Amino acid sequence: MAAIDDTTKIYSMAGSEEQAPSMSTEQLVTMIRRVGRKPVERGTLYNVVTDYSDVVFEDDNAYKGYLSLPVV
């Protein structure tokens, strides 16, 4: 998958002294989804680069300590 994972370049171009990104693509997408927005990476001219709406990350399907039970 392409995209935001090369954020070190973005950080340095923006003038940040911290060169290591503090959030992964998965963390950003999860945060955007939680607030009810559509996670889309866009280029300089606002064209869609990557649409993360239907992307399923490994952790999305990982066991999180609970099971969904049928509603009776």
Identify whether 16 is part of a domain.
no
Q: Decide if pLDDT at 66 tops 90.
A: no
Domain count, the chain: 1
Identify whether 70 is part of a domain.
no
Identify whether 17 is part of a domain.
no
User: Which residue range is the domain that position 30 belongs to?
Assistant: 23-65
Identify whether 4 is part of a domain.
no
Identify whether 5 is part of a domain.
no
Does the model's pTM come out above 0.85? no
Identify whether 30 is part of a domain.
yes
Confidence grade of residue 1 (pLDDT, cut at 50, 70, 90) = very low
Identify whether 56 is part of a domain.
yes
Q: What is the pLDDT of residues 5-61, one digit of tens each?
A: 555 566 666 666 666 657 788 888 988 998 999 999 998 899 999 999 988 887 766
Q: What are the Cα distances from residue 34, in Å, to 6, 18, 53?
A: 23, 27, 12
